[in-house]
Structure 1
Amino acid sequence: MKKHFLFFAFFLTTRLIFAQSSTEFLGETITFKSDDGITITADLYMDHPSDAPFIVLYHQAGYSRGEYREIAPKLNALGFNCMAVDQRSGDQVNNIINETHKEAVTKNKPTEYLDAIPDVEASYLYVKYSIKPRKIILWGSSYSAALMFYMGSEHHQNLSGILSFAPGDYFQVNGKDLSSYAAKVTCPVFVTSAKSEYANWKPIYDKVKSDKSSFLPETEGKHGSKALWKNNSNHMAYWTAVEKFLQKIK
């Protein structure tokens, strides 16, 4: 009887611990609302006190919060809490379905890149007002990497850093090129990508006036945050550059 009770108590803890894909998930899946009523699903990785520096992780096109199942625990180990967000523009990766996208489709909401801005905004505000860390860092992959410059312009007084994995001038926001938003960013910025993608982001990067750094691998590398996955042969070179940047703004 005692054994059954202990198991039941463990099962009811707020931290969900179970195996997903090839990586064990050691976070908590949460939900909150976007401004237009869509429920946003996110994985919260809180290994430190709530005031510890916090990284909000956004996925690339066609993906889900599963892009960060391997990455987030390593960020925890570096001293950061973090949250991987399902944006409505996406689908699935690593056997993790994008629940925000799923609900948006059910409610006949559009799911193009720019349609994800309310989800990006809502997740940032959730962290700012519900978790209240002393520092907030935004991290984007591919299309969401581009949106980080818009976010950096809109919330420049409240951000401690931006990491942008393979951004590009994929679209305009409110009729403006992303480079115009990049010029208004005041926090430190880190940009990286596959080697062949450098030309995609150089015009945006050149407009950044704040402290900035970048990394390109010696070999081709990978597109987006999956450059940090261990199945990428040069993932450690990417990690070294990321850690160097994060330690400066921690």
Structure 2
Amino acid sequence: MKYLLLLLTLTSLLTSGASGEYKTIQFPSQDGLPISAHLYSDSDRSKPFILLLHQATYSKGEYLEIAPKLNQMGFNVMAVDLRSGGTVNNIVNEISDIALEKDLDISYLATLPDIEASLAYTKKHLSQGALLLWGSSYSSGLALYMASIDESIDGVLAFSPGEYCKERGKTFIEDSVKTLKIPVFITSAKDEKKYWWNIYNAMPSKEKMYYLPPTKGVHGAKALWKGNPSHEGYWEAINIFLKRFVKIIPSP
């Protein structure tokens, strides 16, 4: 009974550190498993909001360094755990651990209920402004898919997308985005363009853009970490893309 109450009750813990201040909150996925998230947000629900999804073997900890910069750019953000993941930056993926203990499916497609629940929670409790979905590696493809079926999503940022979910077909993501007309930003390591170029060209959006670094670059959203020598170029491109959602964006 105590476990059930834990799943259904929002819990929060304010954490302050070198990477910025956030609240750790919890809400249920569609099947009742608890999703743990880091919420970097003030009380202004009219601000544009970005929901951050991590890459494989990672957790919400992928965004410890990234989220505070997005706050500075005028966005409220939340980084969530998905059940296909692990530990990164000393942040454990809690829903992944629980799913493994229960011997549940932790494939990429199995994270869709987590993403849908996170979107629903954001719209109900956190945001009344523009809503953007941000994905890293496998979750960037799912972010594009979700945007194709959920009209409440106003923009997508996809870091190293590709056809990671071939159980749905070899061109599942490419086929999904053929009706996508919202602003979309795609980036990746330099040699990964071949994995998403057909996806990019399939989108009819007139507000799509992509960025490739002049150097090797890095896979996924960790391209924005300071440890990546080319991180500044990625940030400059993101700044250009995000300007349409806020009136003034200071330099990151």
Q: Same fold (TM over 0.5)?
A: yes
Deviation at residue 96 of structure 1 after TM alignment: 0.5
Gaps in structure 1 of 5+ consecutive residues: 1-13
Contact 2:13 2:25 in 1 (8 A): no
State the percentage of identical aligned residues.
46
Q: Does 1:122 align with 2:117?
A: yes
- Determine which of 64, 73, 83 is the counterpart of 1:69: 64
Q: Deviations over 1:8-41 (max 9, x none)?
A: xxxxxx661344xxx4341000010111111101
Equivalent residue of 2:179, what SS?
coil
Match of 2:163 in 1: 169
Q: What is the identity, as a one-letter code, of the residue corresponding to 1:120?
A: I
Aligned residue for 1:197? 192
Letter in 2 for 1:123: S
Distance 2:127 2:218 in 1: 33
- 1:23-62 matches, within 5 Å, as 23-47=18-42, 49-62=44-57
Note if 1:212 corresponds to 2:208: yes
Matched residues in 1 for 2:95 and 2:245: separation?
Answer: 30
Equivalent residue for 1:131? 126
Partner of 2:19: helix, strand, or coil? Answer: strand
- Pairwise CA distance, 1:249: 2.8
Flag the 1:166–1:18 CA change in 2: closer, same or farther, 3 A: same
Distance in 2 of aligned mates of 1:36 and 1:29? 21
Q: Which residue of 1 aligns with 2:249?
A: none
RMSD: 1.4
Matched residue, 1:180: 175
2:19–2:68 contact (8 Å) kept in structure 1? no
How far apart are residue 172 of structure 1 and its match?
A: 3.6
The answer to whether structure 1 residue 234 and structure 2 residue 230 are counterparts is: yes
Please tell me the residue identity of whatever aligns with 2:68: P
Question: 2 CA distance for matches of 1:184 and 1:92?
Answer: 35
Please say which structure displays the higher CA radius of gyration: 1
Measured in 1, the distance between the counterparts of 2:222 and 2:55 equals 9
Q: How many residues align?
A: 233
Does the aligned pair in 2 maintain the 1:48–1:79 contact within 8 Å?
A: no
Secondary structure of residue in 1 paired with 2:14? coil
Which of 218, 238, 241 is equivalent to 1:245? 241
* Residue 101, structure 1, aligned to residue 96, structure 2: yes
Aligned residue number for residue 14 of structure 2: 16
Deviating beyond 3 angstroms after TM superposition, the runs of 4 or more aligned structure 1 residues are 172-176
Query: After superposition, what is the alpha-carbon deviation per residue over 1:28-74, rounded to whole angstroms, capped at 9, x for unaligned?
Result: 00010111111101000003512210000000000000000000000
Does structure 1 retain, via aligned residues, the 8 Å contact 2:163–2:195? yes
Rounded Cα–Cα distance in structure 2 between residues aligned with 1:72 and 1:15:
17
| Aligned pair partner of 2:86 in 88, 91, 113 | 91
CA distance in 2 between partners of 1:160 and 1:24 (Å): 27
User: Residue deviations 1:143-200, cap 9 Å, x none?
Assistant: 0011011101111x21211000000011147556111111122210000000000000
Shift in Å, 1:107: 2.2
Change (3 A) 1:173 1:188: farther
Higher mean C-alpha deviation, range 76-85 or range 169-178: 169-178
Contact between 1:135 and 1:160, CA under 8 Å: does it hold in 2? yes
Q: What is the one-letter code of the residue matched to 1:229?
A: W
Work out whether residues 13 and 23 of structure 2, in 8 Å CA contact, stay in contact via their aligned partners in 1.
yes
Unaligned regions of 5+ residues in structure 2, if any? 1-11, 247-252
